[in-house]
Amino acid sequence: MARSALLNVMVQAAFKAGKSLARDFGEVQNLQVSLKGPGDYVSQADRKAEKIISDELLKARPTYGFLGEESAKEIKGTDGAHRWIVDPLDGTTNFLHGIPHFAVSIALERNDEIVAGVIYNPATDELYTAERGGGAFLNDRRLRVAARKELTDCVITCGIPHLGRGNHGKFLVELRHVMGEVAGIRRTGSAALDLAYVAAGRFDGYWETGVSAWDIAAGIVLIREAGGWVSDFAGGSNMLETGSVIAANEYVHKALLDVTHRPVPGK
Nearest to 40 by CA among 52, 28, 23: 28
Shortest reach from residue 207's CB to ligand IPD, in Å: 11
* Cα–Cα distance list, 46 to 49, 137, 165, 180 (Å): 5, 26, 20, 38
Binding partner at 209 among ligand IPD, Ca ion, none, C-beta below 5 to 8 Å by kind: none
Per-residue interface string for the shown chain with ligand IPD, residues 37-76, x marking contact by CB under 6 A: ----------------------------------------
Q: Which of 24, 87, 109, 174 binds ligand IPD (CB under 6 A)?
A: 87
CB-CB contact of 118 with 220 (8 Å): no
Q: Which of 189, 201, 205, 228 binds ligand IPD (CB under 6 A)?
A: 189
Q: Which of 18, 38, 68, 91 binds ligand IPD (CB under 6 A)?
A: 91
DSSP bridge pairs for 104: 120
Shortest reach from residue 165's CB to Ca ion, in Å: 12
* Cα–Cα distance list, 238 to 37, 43, 146, 251 (Å): 38, 30, 24, 20
Binding partner at 249 among Ca ion, ligand IPD, none, C-beta below 5 to 8 Å by kind: none
Q: Which listed range, 19-27, 78-86, 170-178, 206-214, lies at the site for ligand IPD (CB under 6 A)?
A: 206-214
The helix or strand, by DSSP H or E, that contains position 50, with its residue range, turns out to be: helix 39-60
The whole-angstrom separation of Cα 112 and Cα 90 is 22
Q: Which listed range, 71-79, 84-92, 134-142, 178-186, lies at the site for ligand IPD (CB under 6 A)?
A: 84-92
What residues make contact with Ca ion under the rule CB under 5 A? 69, 87, 89-90, 215
Question: 155-175 burial string, b = 16+ CB within 10 Å, else e?
Answer: bbbbbebeeeebeeeebebbb
Nearest to 61 by CA among 40, 78, 44: 78
Q: Which listed range, 13-21, 36-44, 137-145, 186-194, lies at the site for ligand IPD (CB under 6 A)?
A: 186-194
Q: Does 131 bind ligand IPD (CB under 6 A)?
A: no
Q: What is the Cα Rg of the chain in Å?
A: 18
Number of residues that bind ligand IPD (CB under 6 A): 14
Q: Which residues from 151-170 bind ligand IPD, rule CB under 6 A? A: 159
Q: Pairing between strand 113-121 and 126-131? A: antiparallel
Residue closer to ligand IPD (CB basis): 90 or 232: 90
Q: Which residues bind ligand IPD (CB under 6 A)?
A: 87, 89-93, 159, 189-191, 208, 210-211, 215
